[in-house]
């Protein structure tokens, strides 16, 4: 079953590469789309991309490890992104982040052992008027205080 799933994912990755003409210059765009498939870029996926584009896998991993956007850690079912942009930062994003870390017991870039939540930072989602902003999945939460964190987390499943 797991193998079938992986085969399926690898096929999808190859389709993405084909769509970009298997052009090594499109690597970042390809990785961007590939990360959407599973929320992260496992080793096998990077190897598949390297093979398809005819470039060394060390080049692919070089790009993946350079950009913080790309990740090799599986994301939780509900990925949490705390905005650390200027506006959010001055309105207390750091304290908010600390509270998420405390509640979840994980560091930035990690996933809870049950796979429910993962925690990341990002720079500005373009909703500075609502600072400090947190995104969980596709949903945006604005004007949050540390005290709100527990309640929001409890709302999930």
Partner 1 sequence: MRDVHGALQIQSYIRLLNLFTMEKQVTLQIDHHFITVPEGSTILEAAREIGIDIPTLCHIDLKGTCVKNNPASCRICVVEVEGRRNLAPACATRCTEGMKVHTSTLRVMNARKIVAELILSDHPNECLTCPKSGNCELQTLALRFNIREMPFNGGELSARKRETTSSIIRNMDKCIFCRRCESVCNDVQTVGAIGAIRRGFNTTIAPAFDKMMADSECTYCGQCVAVCPVGALTERDHTNRLLEDLANPEKTVIVQTAPAVRAALGEEFGMPPGTLVTGKMVYALRELGFDYVFDTDFAADLTIMEEGAEILNRLHRYLNGDTSVRLPILTSCCPAWVNFFEHQFPDLLDIPSTARSPQQMFGSIAKHVWAKKTGIPVEKLTVVSIMPCLAKKYECDREEFKPGGIPDVDYSITTRELARLIKRANIGFTLLPDAEFDNPMGASTGAGTIFGTTGGVMEAALRTVYEAYTGRTLQKVDFEQVRGLEGVRHANIDLGGFELKVGIAHGLGNARHLLEDIRNGRNEYHVIEIMACPGGCIGGGGQPLHHGNSAILYARANALYREDTNKPLRKSHENPYIRELYEECLGKPLSEEAERLLHTHYFNKSIN
Is 85 in contact with 129 (CB distance < 8 Å)?
Answer: no
Q: Quote the tokens at residue 73.
A: 């850690």
For residue 49, the minimal CB distance to partner 1 (Å) is 12
- Choose between 59 and 101: whose C-beta lies nearer to partner 1: 59
Size of the site for partner 1 (CB under 8 A): 14
Residues 96, 89: Cα–Cα separation, whole Å? 10
Q: Quote the tokens at residue 67.
A: 């950009």
- Which residues in the 20-49 window bind partner 1 by CB under 8 A? 43, 46-47
Is 88 in contact with 133 (CB distance < 8 Å)?
Answer: yes
Q: Is 104 in the site for partner 1 (CB under 8 A)?
A: no
What count of other Cβ atoms lies within 10 Å of the Cβ of residue 102? 12
Nearest Cα to Cα of residue 47 among 14, 25, 3: 14
- Choose between 54 and 113: whose C-beta lies nearer to partner 1: 54
- Which residues in the 43-82 window bind partner 1 by CB under 8 A? 43, 46-47, 51, 55-62, 65-66
In terms of C-beta density within 10 A (0-12 exposed, 13-18 middle, 19 or more buried), how is residue 30 classed? buried
For residue 45, the minimal CB distance to partner 1 (Å) is 12
DSSP state, 21? Answer: T
- Choose between 65 and 145: whose C-beta lies nearer to partner 1: 65
For residue 114, the minimal CB distance to partner 1 (Å) is 26
For residue 55, the minimal CB distance to partner 1 (Å) is 7
- Choose between 48 and 133: whose C-beta lies nearer to partner 1: 48
Question: Rule CB under 8 A: which residues touch partner 1?
Answer: 43, 46-47, 51, 55-62, 65-66
């Amino acid at each position: 079953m797991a193998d079938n799933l992986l085969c399926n994912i690898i096929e999808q990755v190859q389709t993405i590469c084909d769509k970009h003409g298997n052009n090594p210059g499109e690597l970042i765009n390809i990785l961007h789309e590939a990360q959407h498939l599973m929320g992260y870029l496992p080793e096998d996926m990077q190897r598949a991309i390297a093979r398809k584009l005819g470039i060394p896998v060390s080049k692919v991993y070089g790009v993946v490890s350079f950009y913080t956007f790309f990740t090799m850690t599986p994301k939780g079912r509900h990925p949490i992104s705390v905005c650390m942009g200027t506006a959010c930062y001055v309105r207390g994003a750091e304290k908010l982040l600390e509270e998420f870390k405390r509640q979840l017991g994980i560091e930035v870039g990690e996933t809870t052992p049950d796979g429910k939540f993962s925690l990341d930072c990002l720079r500005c989602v373009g909703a500075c008027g609502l600072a400090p902003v947190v995104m969980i999945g596709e949903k945006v939460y604005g004007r949050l205080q540390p005290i709100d964190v527990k309640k929001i987390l409890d709302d999930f499943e």
